[in-house]
Amino acid sequence: MIKSKINLLIVGGCFPVQRNIPIERLYHSILKEKLEKEQSILIETNILQYEKLNPTLKRIEEIVNQKKIDLIIFHIRIEQILRMIKFYLRYHDTNEVYHKGLNFAIFGNCIPERKEFNLQRTSENNRQNKKKSSNRFLQNINYILGYLVFNQVISFWSYKKLIKSIVKLCNSKSIELIFTGPVSRPVSFIENLTSMILHFYMKKLIVNKLNKTYQNFLGTNENLQSLFCDDNIRVNEIGHKKIANMLFNQIKTLKK
């Protein structure tokens, strides 16, 4: 017998809709089944994918103004932060015109956050380039140069601004919030280090200053089994099951 219902909004990237894993084995499907069977809580799941930071708040506002949302699970992602940190960028705009540019975010020139930045086309090119190990080395150099010109400062500040705005919105509408930290990035040392820095930065902000729930998703193994696919970027089925259990325990706490 169903005791209660939660209208859930998941805000994340490709993680909630990962195509290489059957939908019934994605974390939110596992979570939904566990809550219904063990807690008699019916979950209605809505998913909003975001990439750029700037338009995300407006997109969340549109959803919560159109329908009743009880809980938002907001996934803090490392992908856009990594793009924002890069010093040198090759990209297409929305008119398919190819560009090269230097990313000086500290001077208000954060290329990946521009409206004309064609994220989909650029991401496709990056996936093709990652197949070459030499490109991985050059990418790490690119990150280092980005750190040297303080691109990470602007990227973290932009994320902080978004998080604070989401908290303000949810407080005004009495919506529960669970923030999840970035996952590890075992694909490279610098990406993994950046993910760890982002985790500590966001945990301090969300828990200590905003007094909201935060779930740590860092980690690469569970019972000596890898949590990642062969690309060392996407979470595998073991990882999805682990994350579902973490969120299950968080939601149980919220419902007490």
Asked if 12 and 49 touch (Cβ cutoff 8 Å), the reply is yes
Q: CATH number of the domain at 4-78+157-255, please?
A: 3.40.50.1110
Q: Is 135 helix (H, G, I), strand (E, B) or coil?
A: helix
Whole-structure pTM value: 0.93
Long-range contacts of 95-104 (CB under 8 A, 24+ apart): 96/121, 103/146, 103/151, 104/149, 104/151
pLDDT value at position 87? 96
Helices 189-203 and 133-148: angle between axes, nearest 10 degrees = 40
Question: What is the Cα–Cα distance from 125 to 139, expressed in whole angstroms?
Answer: 13
Which residues touch 175 (CB under 8 Å, ≥6 apart)? 64, 69, 70, 71, 72, 169
| CA pair distance 227, 234, nearest whole angstrom | 9
* DSSP class of 77: -
What is the structure's pLDDT at 256?
Answer: 59
**Residue-range domain boundaries for the chain:** 4-78+157-255, 83-148
Q: Residue 122's pLDDT is what?
A: 62
What are the residues facing 12 on neighbouring strands? 49
Q: Which residues have a Cβ under 8 Å from the Cβ of 8 and sit 6 or more positions away?
A: 28, 43, 44, 45, 46, 69, 70, 71, 72, 73
- Walk along the chain (256 residues) and give the pLDDT tens digit of each residue: 567 899 999 999 999 999 999 999 999 999 999 999 999 999 999 999 999 999 999 999 999 999 999 999 999 999 999 999 999 999 988 888 999 999 999 998 899 999 899 887 666 555 555 555 568 889 999 999 999 999 999 999 999 999 999 999 999 999 999 999 999 999 999 999 999 999 999 999 999 999 999 999 999 998 889 999 999 999 999 999 999 999 999 998 876 5
When computed from its CA atoms, the radius of gyration of the chain, rounded to whole angstroms, is 19
Q: What is the pLDDT of residues 115-135, one digit of tens each?
A: 899 887 666 555 555 555 568
